[in-house]
Chain A
Amino acid sequence: MSNVKVLVVDDEDSIRRFLRVALTSQSYALFESTSGQEALSCVAEHKPDLIILDLGLPDIDGVEVTRLLREWTKIPIIILSVRGSESDKIAALDAGADDYLTKPFSAGELLARLRAALRRAAQIPGEPVFAIGSLKVDLLRRLVTIEDHEVQLTPNEYELLRLFVINAGKVLTHRHLLREVWGTEYGDEFHMLHVNISNLRRKIERDSSRPQFIITEPGVGYRLRIS
């Protein structure tokens, strides 16, 4: 089996060098682009399995690159961005990006996100039972247990948890969760979402101020921790 191909798009030479070392050490085949335009043609030519895309590119905005790619390919996209540009991250995620990392980030974090995104993209039919630590979610029987004790969830709480489980490790934006669970007209009812997440955490987390399962992505959304 040939190596997994990863395209790195960043105009900073030092960041590309760091990613080159981190990725080739894991025997990924690497392609590099320094601009959005170059990235678009590289994707068409080499058909990589995953793209690591910086939002601040010299020519086309990373959000726009994501939008253009999503017109014809489902290839997983991981966004690199800086703190303080939450709206850009949300825009990129809404445009179809799979995940994001805030600079500076560690190699371990990057590789974990990369593996998770590749796993999701492979669409290996998921097990009907998802388990992480003491939490077990049986999607077939709609049964949630903590240390083998059944947890009673409301339909919306269960629906939220189900979304997290089938997108395990992926960041889900506030708006995305609201639309999926309550419907498109509820896209701005952030408070309703936060209250439900808070209730869900109280039922499944041991200490809801140090959540182990549902992690807050500041200003962006939530994700289910998988490691």
Chain B
Amino acid sequence: MPNSGRSLKKGEKRPPAKNFAWRYYLLGCLLVALATLLGYFSGGLLAPTNILMIYLLCVTVSAIVGGFGPAILVSILSVLAFDFFFVRPFHTLNVQDIQYIFTLIVLLLVGIALSYFTSTLRRQRETSKRHEQEMAALYALGQDLAIASDLQSYTRSIINRIKGTIGQDVVIFLPDARNDTVLKAYSDSPEIDVDVNLFNTAMSSFQHKEIIECDSHAIKGAKALCLPLVTTRRAVGVIVLIKPEDAGDYTDEQERLLSAYSDLAAVAIESIQLADELHNAEILKATEKLQTALLNAISHDLRTPLVSIIGVLSSLQEEAMDLDDSAKRSLIQVAREEADRLNHLITNLLDESRLESGALRLSLQPAEVNDLVGAALEQLGSRVDNRTIKTDIPGHLPFIRVDFGLFVQALVNIVDNALKYSPPDSLIEIKGRCVQQEVQIEIVDRGTGIPEQDLPHIFDKFYRIKRPDNVSGTGLGLSITKGLIEAHGGRIGAKSQAGRGTVVSIILPVSADSMASERFNE
């Protein structure tokens, strides 16, 4: 059963030098004995007043060295010894001369006063020394945290500092970056077993901002002390100290230091959490913007083909319409073309999302430019059947290393654009050539061309040139094409003259094993 409370310690406070205190009492006794012996064997050389001075010296010394307790003891012993040995009648504690009673009282008072002042002084010195040590420790942690740049190094410095000053194993629990209702444990000793019990206690400490102690299974008989890291706003984590069985309670200084450490750590961790949150919020905002743009662009382009397809199918379904065969055929043709367009669009969107997420894996193989262009034209199907497309690709052109399907998709996008933005009776040329270990493929149309101010942006995402003719498109095709070509280690560029046409060129390095191709040409 974990017990909880605001204080770090239970039970009595123990002074730090308790183990050594008896030595000062012993020293005091020795001093008194020494003074007595000195007076006793001086053979009347020293007057009783002077012997008294020696006792006073003893009281002073033990007050300064031993503090309050030894000083009182020495004062009383001195008074008794002086009375016993040097005040008539000798060897009794009786006092004849009333003068000496006054002397004895003064001696006692001097001892008390001196020891009081010196011990106050010493306490002050010790306090300031402790403060200095604490300040140094905090300063060191502060410096560590100033250098640290991420959560990992923050936790490492905090763990190291606490371990260095308290000497116990430390586990830090921080909320998970993705889900702040789950705590994640950080520790530098892998052997610390963070079990369910410890987790639950840390969680409870985190939620209720309370110091909780529980049994730890990390080491047999050990206790775990959970200190919540609390800022003015919220709890940001929990520091857990693993206390071995034989470890006593914390001293005042350790307690203060721990509290200072946890305050500093809390502020530092909160600052990095806030920075993370800000960063995430920015990313989220950018993603949302992209998604909105994507949605706007594609909702139109995805729906347009569907409008035709549903329209055609419902017309065919409607018996009352009484369509003749040729009308039916042309309707079906429309639906078929629109479905193909939809398929092309979806293919592009899938490629785009793969490019964007980095999930695009190229399966590179040497390929012939002729073959690639052929496959692209094949894929465009009926759209190129009634167009004149001239290919000029020399048979000896070196091979290029590409992912066949994706590279064909890139070519399809470019040729598709050329088809869309040029008159139906105009020529489209596809040329291939090799220039200095690079293969260049050019797609040339004699269409409307691209205005000069638009040319630098045509490969940007969602960029569409404002044209009078209402040609459909997402503005994604060319940006995907660029992404695909660059994923192949190639370059893409466009030249255009308004009203005269556009040339899109792709440049790819020659496949390395293409150089050795001669040996296969039997």
Task: Tell me what chain B mostly uses at the interface: helix, strand, loop, or mixed.
Answer: helix
Chain A positions within 8 Å of B405 at CB level: 83-84, 86, 218-219
Chain B contacts with A in 464-522, Cβ cutoff 8 A: 511, 513-514, 516-517, 520-522
Q: How far is the CA of A174 from the CA of B404 in the complex (A)?
A: 13
Chain B contacts with A in 145-162, Cβ cutoff 8 A: none
Chain B positions within 8 Å of A215 at CB level: 378
- In the complex, whether B165 has a CB less than 8 A from a CB of chain A is no
Contact A202 B343, CB 8 Å, known A194-B368, A219-B403: no
- In the complex, whether A191 has a CB less than 8 A from a CB of chain B is yes
Determine if A156 and B366 form an interchain contact, defined as CB atoms under 8 angstroms apart. Answer: no
- In the complex, whether B101 has a CB less than 8 A from a CB of chain A is no
- In the complex, whether B374 has a CB less than 8 A from a CB of chain A is yes
A-B contact count (CB 8 A): 74
Chain A contacts with B in 46-100, Cβ cutoff 8 A: 83-84, 86-87
Nearest CB in chain A: distance from B7 CB, A: 61
Nearest CB in chain A: distance from B53 CB, A: 104
For B364, the closest partner residue in chain A by CB is A190
Contact A192 B520, CB 8 Å, known A83-B405, A218-B375: yes
Chain B positions within 8 Å of A218 at CB level: 375, 404-405, 408
For B339, the closest partner residue in chain A by CB is A104
Chain A positions within 8 Å of B350 at CB level: 84
Stretch at the interface among A17-25, A124-132, A205-213: A205-213
The 5 closest A-B pairs by CB, nearest first: A191-B366, A209-B370, A195-B520, A209-B391, A218-B404
A residues with a Cβ closer than 8 A to B are 83-84, 86-87, 104, 154, 156, 174, 190-192, 194-199, 201-202, 207-211, 215-216, 218-219
Q: How far is the CA of A199 from the CA of B516 in the complex (A)?
A: 15
Chain B positions within 8 Å of A198 at CB level: 368, 370-371, 395
Chain B positions within 8 Å of A84 at CB level: 350, 405
Determine if B393 and A86 form an interchain contact, defined as CB atoms under 8 angstroms apart. Answer: no
Q: Could you give, for residues 337-351 of chain B, a 1 whenever the CB lies within 8 Å of some chain A CB and a 0 otherwise?
A: 001000100010010
Specify which of A83, A201, A216 lies most central, judged by the most chain B CB atoms within 10 Å of its CB: A216
Chain B positions within 8 Å of A209 at CB level: 370-371, 373-374, 377, 391, 393, 430
The contact sample of 14 A-B pairs, CB cut-off 8 A, is A104-B339, A174-B365, A191-B514, A194-B366, A194-B368, A195-B520, A197-B371, A198-B395, A199-B521, A209-B374, A209-B391, A210-B374, A218-B375, A219-B404
Further 14 A-B residue pairs, CB within 8 A, beyond A195-B517, A198-B371, A209-B430? A83-B347, A104-B343, A191-B366, A191-B517, A191-B520, A195-B520, A198-B368, A198-B370, A198-B395, A207-B391, A208-B395, A210-B374, A216-B374, A216-B404
- In the complex, whether B363 has a CB less than 8 A from a CB of chain A is yes
Chain B positions within 8 Å of A201 at CB level: 370
Q: How far is the CA of A165 from the CA of B165 in the complex (A)?
A: 83
Nearest CB in chain B: distance from A3 CB, A: 28
Q: How far is the CA of A38 from the CA of B401 in the complex (A)?
A: 42
Chain B contacts with A in 209-236, Cβ cutoff 8 A: none
Determine if A156 and B399 form an interchain contact, defined as CB atoms under 8 angstroms apart. Answer: no
Chain A positions within 8 Å of B339 at CB level: 104
Nearest CB in chain B: distance from A70 CB, A: 25
Q: How far is the CA of A123 from the CA of B440 in the complex (A)?
A: 47
Q: How far is the CA of A86 from the CA of B363 in the complex (A)?
A: 9
- In the complex, whether B57 has a CB less than 8 A from a CB of chain A is no
Specify which of A174, A194, A199, A210 lies most central, judged by the most chain B CB atoms within 10 Å of its CB: A194
Q: How far is the CA of A192 from the CA of B399 in the complex (A)?
A: 11
- In the complex, whether B27 has a CB less than 8 A from a CB of chain A is no
Chain B positions within 8 Å of A195 at CB level: 399, 517, 520-521
Chain B contacts with A in 399-441, Cβ cutoff 8 A: 399, 403-405, 408, 430
Determine if B370 and A208 form an interchain contact, defined as CB atoms under 8 angstroms apart. Answer: yes
Chain B contacts with A in 359-391, Cβ cutoff 8 A: 363, 365-368, 370-371, 373-375, 377-378, 391
Nearest CB in chain B: distance from A120 CB, A: 23
Q: How far is the CA of A104 from the CA of B367 in the complex (A)?
A: 25
For A190, the closest partner residue in chain B by CB is B365
Chain A positions within 8 Å of B403 at CB level: 219
Nearest CB in chain B: distance from A147 CB, A: 20
Contact A190 B404, CB 8 Å, known A208-B395, A209-B377: no
Chain A positions within 8 Å of B375 at CB level: 216, 218
For B367, the closest partner residue in chain A by CB is A194
Q: How far is the CA of A96 from the CA of B393 in the complex (A)?
A: 36
Q: Could you give, for residues 173-188 of chain B, a 1 whenever the CB lies within 8 Å of some chain A CB and a 0 otherwise?
A: 0000000000000000
Q: How far is the CA of A83 from the CA of B363 in the complex (A)?
A: 13
Q: How far is the CA of A174 from the CA of B223 in the complex (A)?
A: 66
Nearest CB in chain B: distance from A207 CB, A: 7
Chain B positions within 8 Å of A219 at CB level: 363, 365, 403-405
Q: How far is the CA of A119 from the CA of B522 in the complex (A)?
A: 35
Q: How far is the CA of A192 from the CA of B365 in the complex (A)?
A: 11
Q: How far is the CA of A211 from the CA of B378 in the complex (A)?
A: 9
Q: How far is the CA of A192 from the CA of B522 in the complex (A)?
A: 11
Chain B positions within 8 Å of A208 at CB level: 370, 374, 395
Q: How far is the CA of A217 from the CA of B253 in the complex (A)?
A: 78
Nearest CB in chain A: distance from B332 CB, A: 12
Chain A positions within 8 Å of B378 at CB level: 210, 215
Determine if A216 and B371 form an interchain contact, defined as CB atoms under 8 angstroms apart. Answer: yes
Q: Could you give, for residues 58-101 of chain B, a 1 whenever the CB lies within 8 Å of some chain A CB and a 0 otherwise?
A: 00000000000000000000000000000000000000000000
For A104, the closest partner residue in chain B by CB is B343
Specify which of A86, A197, A218 lies most central, judged by the most chain B CB atoms within 10 Å of its CB: A218
Chain A positions within 8 Å of B511 at CB level: 191
Chain A positions within 8 Å of B408 at CB level: 218
Q: How far is the CA of A83 from the CA of B406 in the complex (A)?
A: 10
Q: How far is the CA of A222 from the CA of B350 in the complex (A)?
A: 25
Chain A positions within 8 Å of B367 at CB level: 194
Q: How far is the CA of A195 from the CA of B370 in the complex (A)?
A: 12
Nearest CB in chain A: distance from B398 CB, A: 10
Chain A positions within 8 Å of B516 at CB level: 191
Q: How far is the CA of A149 from the CA of B174 in the complex (A)?
A: 81
Determine if A190 and B366 form an interchain contact, defined as CB atoms under 8 angstroms apart. Answer: yes
Chain A positions within 8 Å of B520 at CB level: 191-192, 195-196
Q: How far is the CA of A198 from the CA of B397 in the complex (A)?
A: 11
Determine if B363 and A87 form an interchain contact, defined as CB atoms under 8 angstroms apart. Answer: yes
Determine if B366 and A202 form an interchain contact, defined as CB atoms under 8 angstroms apart. Answer: no
Q: How far is the CA of A68 from the CA of B378 in the complex (A)?
A: 35
For A82, the closest partner residue in chain B by CB is B350
Chain B contacts with A in 305-340, Cβ cutoff 8 A: 339
For B519, the closest partner residue in chain A by CB is A192
Q: How far is the CA of A154 from the CA of B399 in the complex (A)?
A: 21
Determine if A211 and B366 form an interchain contact, defined as CB atoms under 8 angstroms apart. Answer: no
Determine if A202 and B374 form an interchain contact, defined as CB atoms under 8 angstroms apart. Answer: no
Q: How far is the CA of A196 from the CA of B366 in the complex (A)?
A: 12
